[in-house]
Amino acid sequence: MPGLTFDGVSHRYGSVLAVDGVSFTADPGETICLLGPSGCGKSTLLRLAAGLEGIQAGSIAIGGRTVAAAGAHPQAPPEARGVGLVFQDYALFPHLTVVENIRYGLSGGRGEGEARARRILADLGMTDLAGRYPHALSGGQQQRVALLRALAPKPRVMLLDEPFSTLDEHLRHEVRMETMSLLAGSGAVTVLVTHDAEEAMLLADRIVVMKEGRIVQDASPDEVYAHPADLFTARLFGPVNRYEGTVRGGSVPTPLGPVAAPRALESKRVNVAVRADGIELRELSSARAGGVRVRVRSVRRLGVWTLVLVTPRNATREAAGAAQNGEPASIQARLPGMAPIARGDELALHARPEHTFVFPVREG
């Protein structure tokens, strides 16, 4: 039985269509990441599932039971939906201690609830925090307490609205792995809102890419990364070199050389996207094996990555024109480690096919 189902859900804020006909299903124990930029409808979906917004079109079911539907169908109140919700700002009660925050919402008597809350804290080695108030906690501690408060009633569905975005990078990695370990043991459906593609790749069983209130792609992390549905989705996963051209004879000319295109796109205008990660810079002698001769314009070493800008030396007029009105465009390359490259070097550029994508230009 599906744990959570959205069926044709739409929602407006005045004249703004925030969610437009969204449908997807998540199974118990599955983690879904809603990925997209601010304003694409991700948080609105969470608020609708939690019952914080009244549904306007479509329906939502949890554990096979309809909890919200447009029309005369009765709407289940938030407390009757079996949903746990963690906000970006954690929303802990400032006047309650940690153990009182976790106890909030638990059924049973006060003593029983407090005993259970203390057991939860003990299981995570957080007993020393029981009597503290939220203002005395670090950001990571507040996030953990917010999660434990949401998990304590054993919800069917956990909804997390960018819960790691306020943490520094080191702590974010630590806390999100701990969070997902806890959620995996709960058996609940988890829906996580994020604008961070790397976070979605790390945490999700499925990624639901959203743009302007609609689902663009719904697939596994590997599928979304390796086969993005469009240019918008490809750009979510890091910088790309983009060129526009016309397919002729099964390929489109670009400053990176001709790029193969599907037969169905013959004679059509297309966008070519090549990930910066998919650019290889080799010895100049390899240009004879299909590489493009380039000159290095700038080098920025960032430890894990070296960011390089290069300019083609032998681009055809058509390929250069597809870039920037006849002037060869700079090409971004993101090379692993501290690449031994210097400004002014002449090298051979090769674009890896698995990081090269061709999309039809959409009218309008």
- pLDDT(322) > 50: no
What does the mean pLDDT of the chain come to?
Answer: 89
Residues 122, 130: contact at Cβ < 8 Å?
Answer: no
DSSP state of 266: T
Average pLDDT value for residue range 318-338: 69
The pair of structure tokens assigned to 119 is 């057991």
- The first and second tokens of residue 340, run together, are 């031994």
Is the pLDDT at 87 greater than 70? The verdict is: yes
Confidence bin at 363 (pLDDT 50/70/90) = low
- pTM confidence score: 0.89
pLDDT higher than threshold 50 for residue 323: no
- What is the average per-residue pLDDT within 278-293? 83
Average pLDDT over every residue of 94-104: 90
What pLDDT does 353 receive?
94
Judge whether 4-226 and 239-360 match in fold. no
pLDDT of 255 strictly over 70? yes
pLDDT at residue 320, rounded to an integer:
47
What dotted CATH number matches 239-360? 2.40.50.140
- pLDDT tens, residue by residue, 191-247: 999 999 999 999 999 999 999 999 999 999 999 999 999 999 999 999 999 999 999
Interval 309-323 mean pLDDT: 62
Confidence class of residue 315 from pLDDT cuts 50, 70 and 90?
low
Contacts of 304 (CB under 8 A, 6+ apart): 336, 337
Q: What is the pLDDT of residue 2?
A: 76
Q: What is the pLDDT of residues 329-358, one digit of tens each?
A: 789 999 999 999 999 999 999 999 999 999
For residue 156, what are the contacts with CB-CB under 8 A and spacing of at least 6?
3, 4, 28, 62, 63, 82, 83, 188, 189
Supply 203's token pair: 């945490």
Question: Which run of H or of E encompasses 146?
Answer: helix 139-151
pLDDT score of 152 more than 90:
no
Whether the predicted pLDDT of 171 surpasses 70 = yes
Please, which residues bridge with residue 334 across strands? Answer: 307
| Domain boundaries 4-226, CATH class | alpha beta
Taking residue 80's Cβ as centre, other Cβ atoms within 10 Å add up to 12
Q: Structural domain boundaries of the chain?
A: 4-226, 239-360
Q: For the residues of 18-53, what is the DSSP string, one character each?
A: EEEEEEEEE-TT-EEEEE--TTSSHHHHHHHHHTSS
Q: How confident is the model at residue 287 (pLDDT cuts 50, 70, 90)?
A: low
Mean pLDDT of the 147-160 span: 90
Given a cut of 60, whether residue 177 has pLDDT beyond it is yes
Sole residue written with tokens 């859900």: 9
* pLDDT of 326 above 60: no
Mapped onto helix, strand or coil, the DSSP state of residue 272 is strand
Structure-block tokens of residue 293: 């001769």
Mean pLDDT in residue range 258-278: 95
357, 228 Cβ separation under 8 angstroms: yes
